[in-house]
Amino acid sequence: MQYESSQNAFGHITTGLIHHPYVPPGGFEAPQPGVFKASTVYFPTVAAMRQREWKDKSAYTYGLHGTPTTYLLEERLCALEGGLQCVLVPSGLAALALVALSVLNTGDEVLIPDNAYGPNKALAEGELRHFGISHRFYDPMDPADLSRQITPQTRLVWLEAPGSVSMEFPDLPELVRRCRSQGLLCALDNTWGAGLAFKPFDLLNDAQMDPSGAGGQGSLSVDISAHALTKYPSGGGDVLMGSVITRDAALHLKIKLCHMRLGLGVAANDAETVLRSLPSMNLRYQAHDQTARALAAWWQAQPQCAQLLHPAFEGAPGHPHWQTLCERIPGSGLAAGLFSVMIDPRFNQAQVDAFCDGLKLFKIGYSWGGPVSLVVPYDIASMRQKWPKHLKQGTLVRFSTGLESAHDLILDLHQASQAHLLVR
């Protein structure tokens, strides 16, 4: 009998390797959590399977609905952003799409800031339109324009602070107040703030609260915070992931159900990579910020710079709004590692492109939040309804600072501008 020869204490070796009875001791503790991978999750009995609840974190039903690894990441992200519930999705853009598909119905309208992350506009134009969901763009620097764009069909308002290319910082509390007064849902793309520069679910600092309590503004919060974890939480330029965080259980359930029906799972190894990066995130964010400010200060002194677009700099569009929201203690405000420079119009696009090509440490590439500094020239005219009043003419170049030495990065900017942006 062939079977007997390869049998051991647990049956045939093929079966034994699958149903091996050894269980390692519990109580293992180490700095990083383990990676739990699953599509299938076991139930002890059929009855248990039928009764198992998947919508909360009381147990496990299927890999798509959560594992210890994803639950842990969700809870840590809630702590970061000040939310109560979190859903993970395979990219930041998927987070924006999930929000739209969860809360919008045929006939509804969504308002998007004109300086929004480009693919969020493309989502409305290319996909939501098919479902009979319309959109309008508003000027985020003019709260009255937001009010003007609201129609009886408006259901959702997107917010972004700052716009991730032109970097103007809106009066976020005022925009949220206007949404609130109209009963509109507001969703923030919180990728820039990352839960560190300001608290999306607590937008008023103490100075703005009425100390008497009478007629005080109370709390002010967005309904939904969407975050491209691809950026600072990952920190490596090697993971795509997004999160959708809320504080309202009913709203979360709506998003969770849509998430389940669309099947938007994340890979366990990716979740673990983000978990591994979270402990250093605050330190990295501050380092990116310091380097960005050193580079921005260098640019400000250059004759090629027509306008510096960095919300922490005096004179940059929306700087006072950044101060109000992000500087709860004066001088302590954080501002990420992202800024743009409007290169003087006497330099043409080809010269600006050659400058970008001439940089050695800065790589040409999208995204931000990783260790490597990045540069991208943008054509603002093609991205906006009309040229924004607060932007000077010129060619916009966006810099994302990595974790290299600021001194070395400035030398790189200097050599490339000497070679390609020479002021005669």
Question: Does 230 contact ligand PLP by CB under 6 A?
Answer: yes
Question: Does 225 contact ligand PLP by CB under 6 A?
Answer: no
Rounded Cα gap, residues 208 and 213, in angstroms:
11
Question: Does 273 contact ligand PLP by CB under 6 A?
Answer: no
Minimal distance in Å, beta carbon 226 to ligand PLP? 7
Question: Does 147 contact ligand PLP by CB under 6 A?
Answer: no
Minimal distance in Å, beta carbon 287 to ligand PLP? 19
Minimal distance in Å, beta carbon 172 to ligand PLP? 14
**Of all residues in this chain, which one has the CB nearest to ligand PLP in the complex?**
92
Of 93 and 391, the one with the shorter C-beta distance to ligand PLP is 93
Contact 387, 335 (CB under 8 A): no
- Give every CB contact of residue 278 below 8 A, 6+ residues apart in sequence: 76, 80, 233
Contact 167, 312 (CB under 8 A): no
Minimal distance in Å, beta carbon 119 to ligand PLP? 7
Contact 342, 305 (CB under 8 A): yes
Question: Does 367 contact ligand PLP by CB under 6 A?
Answer: yes
Closest CA to 173 of 203, 139, 217, 210: 203
Hey, what are 86's tokens?
């979190």
Of 240 and 275, the one with the shorter C-beta distance to ligand PLP is 240
Q: Which residue stretches of 331-379 are H helix?
A: 349-358
**Encoded amino acid at 2, one letter:** Q
Q: Going by DSSP bridges, is the β-strand pair 374-378/363-364 parallel, antiparallel, or unpaired?
A: parallel
Closest CA to 310 of 330, 295, 324: 295
Of 165 and 305, the one with the shorter C-beta distance to ligand PLP is 165
Residue of 74, 108, 171, 189 interacting with ligand PLP (CB under 6 A): 189
Question: Does 191 contact ligand PLP by CB under 6 A?
Answer: yes
Minimal distance in Å, beta carbon 289 to ligand PLP? 16
Of 146 and 226, the one with the shorter C-beta distance to ligand PLP is 226
Of 398 and 420, the one with the shorter C-beta distance to ligand PLP is 398
**Encoded amino acid at 404, one letter:** E
Window 91-130: contact mask with ligand PLP (x via CB under 6 A):
xxx-----------------------x-------------
By CB under 6 A, how many residues form the interface with ligand PLP? 13
Question: Does 228 contact ligand PLP by CB under 6 A?
Answer: yes
The interaxial angle of helices 319-326 and 172-181, nearest 10 deg, is 80
Closest CA to 229 of 245, 237, 240: 240
DSSP state of 184: -
Question: Does 400 contact ligand PLP by CB under 6 A?
Answer: no
Measure Cα distances from 404 to 237, 410, 412 in Å.
14, 10, 11
Rounded Cα gap, residues 139 and 197, in angstroms:
23
Question: Does 166 contact ligand PLP by CB under 6 A?
Answer: no
Using the contact rule CB under 6 A, the part of the chain among 31-39, 62-70, 73-81, 88-96 near ligand PLP is 88-96
- Contact residues toward ligand PLP (CB under 6 A) are 91-93, 117, 164, 189, 191, 228, 230-231, 240, 242, 367
